[in-house]
Structure 1
Amino acid sequence: MAMLAMTFGAPQAQAAGMRPETSVVIVSEGAGEASMTVQNTDATPALLYTSIQGIPEDDEDLLIVTPPVARVEGGQSQLVRFIVSSPAPLKTERLRRVIFDGIPPKDSEAGVRINVNFRQNLPVIVRPAGLAVDSEPWKRLQWTSDGNSLTVKNPSPYVVRLSPGASLEPSGAKLDLGRTYILPNQSFSYPLPSEQGGQLASVRFTPATTYGFSVGTYDAKLTTSASH
């Protein structure tokens, strides 16, 4: 399928100010670190503040960024390094967010700082040493229904990115997954309308690559299970 130039869960890095070179940071535990170039697209210098944020499901400290603060001249770039600091070997991919804040310098005439910040918020995926790359991890999701609810489970070691909008097939009834990623070993259940129970064959959703690009819709087969 042809990839579409759109991303899920991260703003496009096209605005003026600090511009990261890619839409996601991939850090290999085996390599120990990764780096990304961030360009100051403005004509004036600015301070680049870089920070790592955990996600609600997982906020363990895994990475150190350096430098956390740097002055970047207008039109110039800064290399930011992401160093793995996990105290134990990773067993699955881990998701984090990196925040790039561009702070303009003080106004030379007014003597005060211009109150306009340029922020980029991008996903960071930390990959365990020795884990093979899977370009289609969404195919590993397991979808089951007991007639009353639908459950999606990610038994794989990969972070799966996707659009929150889905549909139940063959009826085409809409389903809001309520999220743009499913972490390893996560599962979520959704109630089904009574008229959908015995008519479901698949779930149609829009997955995204590791870099956040849509690859079109994908129909996942639905397995039925007995109600408890």
Structure 2
Amino acid sequence: MKFNLSNILLATALSTAVMATSSHAEIILHGTRVIYPSDAREVTLQLSNNGTKPSLVQAWIDEGDPQSTPDQSKVPFMISPPIARVEAERSQTLRITALPQAAQFNKNQETVLWLNVVDIPPKPSTDGAADAPENFLQLAIRSRIKFFYRPASIKEDVRTAPEQLQWSRSGNTLNVKNPTPFHVTLTTIRQKKGDKQVDLLPQGLMLKPFSTEEVALQSNTVEDMSFININDYGGRVEYKIKLQ
């Protein structure tokens, strides 16, 4: 198998058009998010190649633009290794280190960034030949997960953040206020409509620190409403909604 680093540019372009969940990728990320405490020396993310062939992996962090490329990244973090060959059925550890410029982030609330991992498969071969076919389409798969930089100066417990959300109703609108310095990710808000439970958040919602969002209600029944939060470990926890 031969890898060409020029394929990285191809991979970046293709990854914007070819998106897949980890269940369809050869490279599996062991985690759905990365938490970086500001007082940590480094954090790690484990990758595994569940395929039968080696893959070339490229990783970088961006500020929120899904179209960004590694050369455009200006975030104050270093990933080692930024490019790695992961053999079939083997693992690779990515080590993420904050640079001194990270001290410029807001010390009173979390900052959210995005970690990208592109899986670039090797060139195909024909009948064991070393060279790839003259015409072939090489697809790269990009996984993109949230990266939270959490200041050590925050003394509140992130585990209590979902319980601190403040809910109120204004006509056909449900208002939710996040009074905490943490990002709170909601995957579902359940409301009763007739004899069924409907989801008001089919696309999910991430509440920024100290922010308020509006969600459209689908019925006048606001009793027994609940929401599901994703915690630091990727677990889904359900909470009851208490209207103020």
The alignment's TM-score, normalised by the length of structure 2, stands at: 0.70
Identify unmatched segments of 5+ residues in structure 2.
Answer: 1-19, 66-72, 125-129
- Equivalent in the alignment of 2:96: 82
Q: Contact 1:140/1:155 (CA < 8 Å) preserved in 2?
A: yes
- Paired residue for 1:5? none
Change (3 A) 1:191 1:46: closer
User: Is 1:161 aligned to 2:175, yes or no?
Assistant: no
Confirm or deny that 1:98 pairs with 2:115.
yes
Tell me, yes or no, if structure 1 residue 140 matches structure 2 residue 140: no
**C-alpha deviation, 1:48, in angstroms:** 0.3
Q: How far 1:133 moved relative to its partner?
A: 4.2
TM superposition shift of 1:207? 1.9
Aligned equivalent of 1:45: 54
Work out which of the residue numbers 232, 236, 243 in structure 2 matches 1:210: 232
Tell me by how many angstroms 1:60 deviates: 7.9
Note closer, same or farther for the CA distance 1:165–1:150 as it changes in structure 2 (3 Å cut): closer
Task: Name the SS for the 1:188 alignment partner.
Answer: strand
Gaps in structure 1 of 5+ consecutive residues: 1-10, 224-228
Q: Does 1:179 align with 2:193?
A: no
After TM superposition, the score normalised by the length of structure 1 is 0.74
- Separation in 1, partners of 2:97, 2:222: 46
3-state DSSP class of the match of 2:243?
strand
Q: Distance in 2 between matches of 1:145 and 1:101?
A: 43
Q: Report the Cα distance in structure 1 between the residues aligned to 2:74 and 2:110, rounded to whole angstroms.
A: 13
Aligned residue in 1 for 2:131? 109
Range with bigger deviation, 88-97 or 23-32: 88-97
Q: 1:87 to 1:127 in 2, by over 3 A?
A: closer
How far did residue 67 of structure 1 move?
Answer: 2.2
**Code of the aligned partner of 1:33:** E
Equivalent residues, number: 207
The C-alpha deviation readout for 1:132-175, integer Å capped at 9, x for no partner, is 54224211111122445331111101111221443269997746
Aligned to 2:31: 22
Letter in 1 for 2:142: R
- 4+ runs of 1 displaced by more than 4 Å? 111-114, 168-175, 199-202
1:185–1:63 Cα change, 3 Å: farther
Structure 2 distance, partners of 1:186, 1:170, is 31
CA RMSD, Structure 1 to Structure 2 (Å): 3.2
Question: Contact 2:123–2:138 (CA<8 Å) still a contact in 1?
Answer: no
- Specify whether residues 171 and 142 from structure 1 end up closer, same or farther in structure 2 by C-alpha distance, changes over 3 A only: farther
Deviation at 1:61, TM superposition (A): 2.8
1:4 counterpart residue number: none
Match of 1:226 in 2: none
User: CA offsets per residue over residues 61-87 of structure 1, 9 Å max, x none?
Assistant: 353323221222222222212222424
In structure 2, relative to structure 1, the CA distance for the partners of 1:139 and 1:25 (3 Å cut) is same
Q: In the alignment, what sits opposite 1:189?
A: 214
User: Larger relative CO (CA 8 A, sep 6+): 1 or 2?
Assistant: 1
Normalized per residue, the structure richer in helix is 2
| 1:187 partner letter | T
